[in-house]
Amino acid sequence: MYLVGFYSPKEKAGVTETALLVANWLRQNTSLSIAFVSNGILEKEPITKETVHKFAELSFDEQKQKIKELKSAFDIVVYDASSGLSADILKLLPMADRLFILGEDDSRFSETLHHVIKFNRLFDRKSRDLVNELHNDETYVLEHDNHMIGFAKPKQNIDDVGKLIYRDYSIYFLHRNYIDKYQELVAKFKEMPKEQLGKGAYQLGINFDKAILFQKYVQLREVCGQPYEEAIESIVPIFIKYDYGTILQQFQSEVYIAQIGFGLNR
């Protein structure tokens, strides 16, 4: 479900050791299922379905498929992305839902890396597809004392990092649950006959006044040229977030703008 990455641009920065300590902390202190993936070779850890190594030797498509499988099978996947600075690594880092940079006291480097990853997500087709598939949110850059980004003393931070990851996972879990419920609701609205949209919204639990306004709002958007399904997708969040009075005011504003627009087009 959730992928946490650990990375350092420096060779022998202790990334693997730190990532393993964090994975073990999560196993010992939570009831979550934890998988561990390493780009390099693990010599001391038993290689099981929970622990994968030599990940960097796989092709990009194989890596993508493996991550999908692990995210389906485990609550959290800890990804040890240590292997120095390379173009291939920059393509892989966007896979992480959260990325920690270790052993790096150059805040400028960390911030620049953050921007590069964001750029890749916007313009690199493979990165963008992977981000969409894995529901990637953002890169996480951890700040410590003296305004340094990364881990000055990795082993001393394991407890804090473990708690931070668990908190982020919990928020992520709730977010995904909300998204799933939201998408289910939108799908039900799309299946309803247009003339029964208000009645259907009321039957789903929306109060009567809001339900009637919902149908009128969708009709308004259609009159203005917005496709029916697209109108539903854009209006549902408004009805979830705001009260009736706020929605009515926004609806009236759009009616006014629409009347001006139709008047100019005559």
Let me know if residue 25 belongs to a domain: yes
Let me know if residue 182 belongs to a domain: no
Based on the domain organization, do 81 and 122 belong to the same domain? yes
Please give the pLDDT value at position 30: 95
Let me know if residue 151 belongs to a domain: yes
pLDDT tens digits, 121-160: 666 665 555 555 444 555 555 544 444 444 545 565 788 8
Q: Please give the share of the chain, as a percent, with pLDDT higher than 70.
A: 79
pLDDT tens digits, 64-112: 888 889 988 999 999 988 766 677 677 777 777 888 877 655 566 767 7
CATH at 11: 3.40.50
pLDDT tens digits, 197-240: 999 999 988 899 999 999 999 999 999 899 999 999 889 888 88
Final residue in a domain of this structure, among 119, 144, 177: 177
Please give the pLDDT value at position 148: 44
pLDDT-based confidence at 55, cuts 50/70/90? confident
- Annotate the chain with DSSP letters as a single string: -EEEEEE-SSTTSSHHHHHHHHHHHHHHHSSS-EEEEESS--SSS--STTEE--GGGS-HHHHHHHHHHHHHH-SEEEEE--S-S-HHHHHHGGG-SEEEE-S---HHHHHHHHHHHHHHHHH-HHHHHHHHHHT-------EEGGGEES-SSGGGGHHHHHHHHHHHHHHHHHHHHHHHHHHHHHHHHHHS-GGGHHHHHHHTT--HHHHHHHHHHHHHHHHTT--HHHHHHHHHHHHHHS-HHHHHHHHHHHHHHHHHHHHHT-
Based on the domain organization, do 160 and 215 belong to the same domain? no
Let me know if residue 55 belongs to a domain: yes
Computed over every residue of the chain, the mean pLDDT equals 80
